[in-house]
Amino acid sequence: MEEKKERLKALLDEYTKGNACLAFSGGIDSSLILKLAQEAADRNGTKLYAVTFDTVLHPKADREIASRVARENHSIHEIISVDELKQEEIRFNPKNRCYLCKKSLFSGLLDFARAHDAAVVMEGTNQDDLKQYRPGIQAVKELGVKSPLMEAGFTKAEIRAYAKELGISVAERPSSPCLATRLPYGTEIDMALLKRIGEGEEALRNLGLKNVRIRVHGEIARLEVDSASFPAILEQREEVLSILKKVGVPYLTLDLEGFRSGSMDIHVK
């Protein structure tokens, strides 16, 4: 672990020799990079731009959290507004949606970097991401974007432990992926439905549940939470049902396998 920390710091010191950009979601991965990269940029006397994509397919709370974490690190925070659904290919949630989306987003970030004399663009992929279906990683590699956590060999658990050690405020924050992951591939993306799903997940988190996903398969809403939260769901059954009914589908289920990242990808692995 100590070797990985030193490797990460060395990479970020190298990447901030000149101005640099970081794709910054406010999640734990990019927040760890931001803290260490900002310290490196300050030492090097360069500028680090933390750039957040304000998109239609991500929960709105992400932008607010990103702004707060950027302020905590005294970082330059920029926001780029994007409507992913302007790409007709994405509208029907294809299996390579993540590739198409990342290619578009990071192409825009590279344009931003060039306009701000930033030679390096970074993002937060880690070693665990390589073990799952992550077509967006291909786009990141094709565009020459750096992934310092992956390069230094950090797993998600190691990132969380290091972030907690450094006192990063989002060290315990659950992952918050694109809302299109709540729908099966090949399903037309319904923004009104995704809005209700996002609101439902936020309401469930406010009940004390973590790692919440509401996956909708036609007329069925499948709730994924950590299995340790099953008793809490039963204790708050009426509140949970009330929240799920607002999603607007008739059949409501609790997935007995519990939360698992990428559960919509089982047919593409």
Alpha helices by DSSP H, the chain: 2-15, 28-44, 61-72, 97-115, 136-142, 148-151, 156-165, 191-206, 230-235, 237-245
Q: Which structure tokens are listed for 173?
A: 């924050």
Cβ atoms within 10 Å of 127's Cβ, excluding its own: 18
**In this structure, what is the dihedral angle of CA atoms 27, 28, 30, 34, given to the nearest 10 degrees?**
120
Respond yes or no: is residue 178 known to be catalytic: yes
Among 21, 98, 101, 178, the active-site one is 178
193: Cα within 13 Å, side-chain hemisphere: 18
Exposed/middle/buried for 170, CB within 10 Å: 0-12, 13-18, 19+? buried
CA–CA gap between residue 56 and residue 231 (Å, rounded) = 34
**Token couple for 67:** 């702004």
Residue 251: beta bridge partners? 220
Residues designated catalytic: 178
